[in-house]
Structure 1
Amino acid sequence: MQANLFDTNDSSKDPTRHPLGDAELLEFLHLFSPTEADQILATLIQDIPWQQEYLKIAGRLRAVPRLQCWMGDHGSHYGYSGVRLSPCPWNKTVKSILARVSELSGSPFNSVLINYYRNGQDSVAWHADDERELGEAPVIASVSLGAERIFEMKEKNNSPAKKYRLPLRHGSLLVMGEKMQQHWLHQLPKVKDLQEPRINLTFRNIIAS
């Protein structure tokens, strides 16, 4: 029998709760130790079949400012902004991360969108993960590896909306609860002069595709 890929860290089970009105946001700061997180980051950069996706904007194709991989169970198709994604098979390392994330969050996941931010010029604009494939009240669990980046949030129906900022630390887990996508937008802005990479795994549960 193969040994557990990751060490057991009881402190990882104690979340920090961030109050955002009726939305639930839980942060597990120590999902992985620094040594574990370093190892996983290097492994994923090397082993994941990264893809460059394109969006059609004003009649022109523009590269999505990050590399991606959609991974999951057979049939867990997903799409956003005109991009359609078919799942590649589960990677062994990602499957091990999934097991730990599911245990801590208490939620089932059958797929993951993995984003590779190569440096500070890679980013993601304001959006909510509210596609119909995810259902009306999705729980999304986000694992951060690599360079610390600032996660920004604002309410959808509050203009001008106050921004909330949360640093996403190396080896941490952020769980966005059922009302987060319904009422809030989030983004990962560019960072000037940042050269270090970051990988973000956002675990989801596809219920209709």
Structure 2
Amino acid sequence: MTQPALFIEPPAAPAEPSTRGWEQISAPGALICIKRSFLGPVAATKLLRRLIDVVPWRQDKIKIFGKEHDLPRLQQWYGDPGQVYLWSGIEMRPLPWIPELLEVREAVQRATKRDFNSVLLNYYRDGNDTVSWHADDEPGLGLSPFIASLSVGAERDFLLRRTDDKTEKRNIKLTHGSLLVMGGETQGNWQHAIPRRKRVTEPRVNLTFREFE
């Protein structure tokens, strides 16, 4: 019998959704949970190295005050046929699923009891790569987007701030192999960002699974 690529153990039998291993983040008007041990260190490292090697990473550009700048990270978009992703003038047509992403998607779907038809991959080469304040609130995600975000590689700060009170903030440490989920009214009430951290010298890959309508 062929070994799974990442050695993710399937559940022994169908089960009801479980809160075991999940930590809920206290944030008014949000539903945010994290499972820090979703992938073990060996599987997480194997996935990180594999994705860095096999994904055809894109260096997109973004316009700021009329001038084009390199996006401060690399990215790629995978998904079911037709799941085109448009944001800030960037069009991303889905690449077909590769075995590694299919296996991870299946594991994330089991853990969250949700289905996903696309995934955005971000490659932070070191602590100089960032993502600015934003919400994952594209119209195709529906009124209450459900996002499952898997992190492998260097630990990074995941900052949150209320849209109506930017002084109210949270900082979540995204560790190697952790799975963060955001649901409910999170995207309407909170923004998030990955800030620059010059002390970070190792890479990180983030996989955000989504269900576009």
Q: TM-score, normalised by structure 1?
A: 0.94
State the partner residue of 2:3. Answer: 3
User: By how many angstroms is 1:9 displaced?
Assistant: 8.3
- Aligned AA (1:8): E
Tell me which moved more, 9-18 or 112-121: 9-18
Q: 1:38-53 maps to which residues of 2 (within 5 A)?
A: 38-53=45-60
Q: 1:94-109 maps to which residues of 2 (within 5 A)?
A: 94-109=101-116
Q: Which sections of structure 2, spanning at least 5 residues, go unmatched?
A: 12-17
User: By how many angstroms is 1:193 displaced?
Assistant: 3.1
Q: Which sections of structure 1, spanning at least 5 residues, go unmatched?
A: none
Indicate if the aligned counterparts of 2:147 and 2:183 stay in contact, CA closer than 8 A.
yes
Distance 1:204 1:145 in 2: 18
Distance 1:139 1:191 in 2: 28
Aligned residues: 206
Cα deviations by residue, 1:47-93 (Å, 9 ceiling, x for unpaired): 11100111111221111100000000000111111111110111110
Q: TM-score, normalised by structure 2?
A: 0.92
Distance 2:143 2:10 in 1: 33
Residue identity over aligned pairs, in percent, reads: 40
Matched, 1:29 2:64: no
State the partner residue of 2:27. Answer: 20
Distance 1:163 1:150 in 2: 12
Distance 2:194 2:8 in 1: 29
Matched, 1:79 2:80: no
- Aligned AA (1:192): K
Tell me which moved more, 182-191 or 20-29: 20-29
Q: Give the alignment partner of residue 168 of structure 2, picking from 150, 162, 167.
A: 162
Q: Give the alignment partner of residue 118 of structure 1, picking from 104, 107, 125.
A: 125
User: By how many angstroms is 1:94 displaced?
Assistant: 0.9
- Local SS of the residue matching 2:26: strand
State the partner residue of 1:179. Answer: 185
State the partner residue of 1:129. Answer: 136
State the partner residue of 2:212. Answer: 206
Indicate if the aligned counterparts of 1:152 and 1:164 stay in contact, CA closer than 8 A.
yes
- Local SS of the residue matching 1:20: coil
Cα deviations by residue, 1:102-122 (Å, 9 ceiling, x for unpaired): 111111110000000001100
Cα deviations by residue, 1:126-179 (Å, 9 ceiling, x for unpaired): 000101121111100000000000000011111x42221010000010001121
Indicate if the aligned counterparts of 1:12 and 1:31 stay in contact, CA closer than 8 A.
no
